[in-house]
């Protein structure tokens, strides 16, 4: 049986204090190089601007994430990852544009090969033009190590809940009996008003129209 000891409580209180008191985020140091991490999931993208402190530890300067738009959710995986990188550079532009070289860490290796493709889409061409404004290199970081960006891109509140495509609907249909047409014809023949109208439409004239009951004349053309 596991016991919640005084040492456990002390560690828990220390974590709570660290998460609720400044400095949670590091203050950007323009004298130190920046690096960013980014990732994409099926429904969101996330990234973080980071620096190493004087002890060599990773410190987060800024977090960013957003839900993918419906059209973006249809992108292939490699385009979602490149969209995450574009989003990252745009959000942290004030820190990265025109600065010293920086590194983009991603867990998708295809980003490093994008500029080497012989044929690219118009969307990718626009993105590469945007990337060319920045001085950076892309480094691969395995997903198990890219935990910050991975967590941001998988926020539960961003998840899109789809309806079950395998749901079965029950539809009840009925087929009219074969005698329906005969029943309708018989009803017409036995209805006095209908018989008058049928006789009139068979040979319409002013004389035959005058023979119609008064309430039927409004339903027959002059």
Across residues 182-208, what is the average pLDDT? 76
Ordered structural domains, the chain, with CATH: 17-158 (3.30.420.10), 180-217 (no CATH)
Pairing mode, if any, of strands 102-106 and 58-67? unpaired
Helix axes 192-202, 180-190, angle to 10 degrees: 90
202 vs 167, residue with greater confidence = 202
> pTM of the prediction?
0.63
Looking at per-residue pLDDT, the higher value among 88 and 117 belongs to 88
The confidence score (pLDDT) of residue 217 equals 67
**C-alpha to C-alpha distances, 209 to 43, 142, 196, 203, nearest whole angstrom:** 72, 90, 9, 10
Q: For residue 192, is pLDDT > 60?
A: yes
What is the Cα–Cα distance from 120 to 89, expressed in whole angstroms?
21
Contacts 24+ apart (CB under 8 A), 214-222: none
Average pLDDT on 122-150 reads 90
Residue 81 predicted with pLDDT over 60? yes
For 75, counting Cβ atoms within 10 Å of its Cβ (0-12 exposed, 13-18 middle, 19+ buried), the class is middle
Distance of alpha carbon 28 from alpha carbon 142, whole angstroms? 26
Give the C-alpha distances (Å, rounded to integers) separating 149 from 24, 49, 69, 130: 17, 10, 18, 21
Backbone angles phi, psi at 90, to 5 degrees: -65, -40
Q: What is the mean pLDDT of the chain?
A: 83
Least confident of 68-72, 134-138, 151-155, 210-214: 210-214
On the question of pLDDT at 165 being above 60, the answer is no
β strands within the chain, DSSP E: 35-40, 44-52, 58-67, 102-106, 136-140
d(CA 83, CA 86): 5
Q: Is the pLDDT of residue 222 over 60?
A: no
User: What's the rounded Cα separation, in Å, for the pair 19 and 25?
Assistant: 10
- What integer is the mean pLDDT of 13-35? 83
Residue 156 pLDDT grade (very low, low, confident, very high; cuts 50, 70, 90): very high
């Amino acid at each position: 049986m596991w016991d919640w000891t005084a040492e456990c409580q002390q560690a828990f209180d220390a974590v709570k204090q660290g998460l609720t008191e400044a400095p949670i985020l590091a203050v950007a140091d323009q004298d130190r190089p920046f690096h960013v991490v980014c990732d994409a999931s099926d429904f969101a993208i996330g990234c973080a601007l980071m620096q190493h402190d004087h002890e060599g530890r990773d410190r987060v300067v800024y977090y960013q994430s957003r839900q993918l738009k419906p059209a973006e959710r249809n992108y292939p995986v490699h385009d979602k990852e490149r969209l995450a990188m574009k989003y990252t550079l745009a959000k942290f532009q004030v820190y990265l544009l025109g600065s010293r070289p920086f590194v983009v860490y991603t867990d998708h290796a295809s980003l490093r090969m994008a500029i080497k493709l012989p044929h690219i889409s118009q969307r990718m061409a626009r993105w590469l033009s945007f990337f060319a404004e920045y001085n950076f290199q892309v480094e691969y970081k395995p997903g198990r190590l890219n935990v910050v960006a991975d967590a941001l891109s998988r926020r539960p509140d961003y998840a899109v809940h789809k309806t079950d495509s395998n749901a079965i609907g029950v539809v009840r249909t009925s087929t009219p009996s074969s005698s329906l047409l005969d029943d309708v014809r018989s009803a017409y023949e036995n209805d006095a008003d209908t018989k008058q109208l049928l006789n009139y439409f068979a040979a319409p004239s002013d004389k035959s129209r005058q023979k119609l009951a008064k309430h039927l004349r409004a339903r027959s053309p002059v």
